[in-house]
Amino acid sequence: MPSTDSFHPASGQLVARDAIPARYTWDLTAICDGWEAWSALYRELDASIGSFAAFQGTLARDAASLLAAFRAMDEMGALSYRVWYYAALHYDEDQRNNDANARRQQVQILFARQQQASAWFHPELLQIPLATIRDWMVANGELAVYRFAIESLFHEQEHVLDERGERLLSYAGRLNSVPADAYSALTTADMKFPSIELESGVEMTLTYGQYRALLETNRNQADRATAYRAFHQTYADRQNTYAAMYNGVLQRDWFHARARGYASTLDAALHGNDIPTSVVENLIAVTKGAVEPLRRYHRLRRRVLGVDRYQLFDVFVPLVQHDVRYAYDEVGASIVASVAPLGAEYQRHVARAFDERWIDVFENAGKRSGAYSAPVYGTHPYMLLNYNETLDAVFTLAHEMGHSMHTLLSHEAQPFVYAGYTIFVAEVPSTLNEALFLDLMLERAASREERAMLLQHAIDSITSTFYTQVMFADFELQAHRLVEHEQPVTAETLNALYAGLLRDYYGDVIDHEPLSPVTWARIPHFFNSPYYVYQYATCFASTARLMQDIRSPENGVRADAVARYLALLRAGGSDYPMALLKRAGVDLSLPDTVRAVSVELDTLLGRLEHELDI
Ligand SMILES: [Zn+2]
């Protein structure tokens, strides 16, 4: 690619979007060719929503009628991706764009109408005896395509109550979001962020973003301690309120589990995806027994940082100072090269992402922050980045590319109804792409410092995406069990629970800090989405397990693993996640699958010690 118009982001100044060469911006014409074409698609969707009502009352007639309704539903769904994303992606390019925002909101209104217009579909379908639909599927191959969708709907139905029961639950539904809403109000709107003075005399207000940045970059331990204590004191000062809100979350979850006839809150949370509770229990038990590499890493950090006392505010500072800039043009070629182990076809797909402008690379004035991969059904995925030439940005690109390849292969291979996938498998391809990229970068690194920096990046992602998330899952499970066993939930019990977990996972490698037990109060996931974070850890374990075979020196093992992995990506959402992973050779109920992560951490630590010469 000619580099005559190459572009580098300058820090501190935000450029206008049109100052960035077109080849670094995404080309949305693959979704539709301009706003006029978009309006036509919008009208088409609008019309198909209107005509969907004609299917109401027909489902129980025969196989052909049910099939026709399913297909109409799919057509509507497929179209809605293009209508939504064309407006939403335009809006994210520059969120000050009122036209794009208005169109995006127009689609949201249409979606609400779509939801209303199809609300009758599942209840009417569930009125038909499952045995009847099964007979229809035997006789009608085209209807049989929908087998998993139908079976899983009936599976969910197992815990649906009669009409009176469901009505009562729907009244209670208004209360469901109160604990999370109160949490968000107290933590954002009503939050008084503390101000601190650094040793240099600089004063600063600690928002969460600034707090994290300080812990990651400030090499003065006293400053980190000041920030940590001020930040956590804010939560400690309101710990009784936070505990009351968290008790609200726990009581709500237990109320719903009991009302619907589940044995526990964990059962209730896992039933939809048909995941056995033993998976979460196995994850926690095995990880707790495999904390030695985690402790070894923190002992190493204590030594390298040369601190007397090593505390939770010391775990994020980099061990080596090594500022490499990763120019985007070179990184693109490395990303393509890094996926070579997955075969030439996969590699060609990745190359297309760069050549066909699927990626919006650099930050510009008004652009949405962060990064994502957008699964636009009917064309190819798109990726939004805010690429700033740091190592983090490079790995973010590798990560989003993994999501995009999952989308691409799934959309290609699956009918619309199974084109999407659950979070339980979603973070496998993204973290696997990161792992492959790390391998290549380590091979190519020019110096010991660069290798050490890469190794630390990989190790930190294991500690934060695996160990910390398992510890969080452990906390959630134990806290829910408090209410299930009719134990009181107070700030004191929650603090004691968290302090116990810090001891279980870190032992004595991290020195005690009086405010640490209140950490639970600042984890939004606990309040917003209970029993969610464990999935980051199970995905990480799945990736570690798959990578063992993909890195195998034996050709046969390697080829077999790659074939199974690509089949997993192509399978999309065509079965329950555990079944899909099992077919890919990953059995999350086995201790060894979970242990693959600590084995990996041990290997990386050995290499890091070598590079640091200790
Ligand atoms: Zn991701």
Backbone angles phi, psi at 73, to 5 degrees: -60, -45
Compute the average pLDDT of residues 185-213: 91
CA of 336 to the centre of ligand 1 (A): 19
CA of 40 to the centre of ligand 1 (A): 33
H-type alpha helices, 326-447: 328-338, 344-355, 391-413, 423-444
Between CA 572 and CA 591 the distance in angstroms is 26
Instruction: Output the pLDDT for position 5.
Output: 65
Residue 59 three-state SS: coil
Instruction: Output the pLDDT for position 182.
Output: 95
Write out pLDDT tens, residues 556-603: 999 999 999 999 999 999 999 999 999 999 999 999 999 999 999 999
**346: burial class by Cβ within 10 Å (0-12, 13-18, 19+)?**
buried
pLDDT band at 2 (very low <50, low <70, confident <90, very high): very low
CA of 567 to the centre of ligand 1 (A): 20
CA of 527 to the centre of ligand 1 (A): 21
Instruction: Output the pLDDT for position 7.
Output: 84
Query: Which chain residues have CB less than 5 Å from ligand 1, an ion?
Result: 430
The pTM for the full model equals 0.93
CA of 352 to the centre of ligand 1 (A): 20
**In contact, 425 and 580? CB cutoff 8 Å:** yes
CA of 401 to the centre of ligand 1 (A): 10
* Number of residues that this document lists for the chain: 614
pLDDT band at 3 (very low <50, low <70, confident <90, very high): very low
* CA 378 and chain centroid, separation: 23
Write out pLDDT tens, residues 482-525: 999 999 999 999 999 999 999 999 999 999 999 999 999 999 99
Task: State the DSSP string of 119-186.
Answer: TTHHHHHHHS-HHHHHHHHHH-HHHHTTHHHHHHHHHHHTT---HHHHHHHHHHGGGTTHHHHHHHII
**Of 567 and 187, which is predicted with more confidence?**
567
**Of 360 and 13, which is predicted with more confidence?**
360
Write out pLDDT tens, residues 99-125: 999 999 999 999 999 988 998 999 999
CA of 403 to the centre of ligand 1 (A): 7
Between CA 121 and CA 312 the distance in angstroms is 52
Instruction: Output the pLDDT for position 549.
Output: 97
Give the residue numbers annotated as catalytic, written as ranges.
Answer: 400
pLDDT band at 322 (very low <50, low <70, confident <90, very high): confident
Share of the chain above pLDDT 70, in %: 99
Compute the average pLDDT of residues 304-309: 95
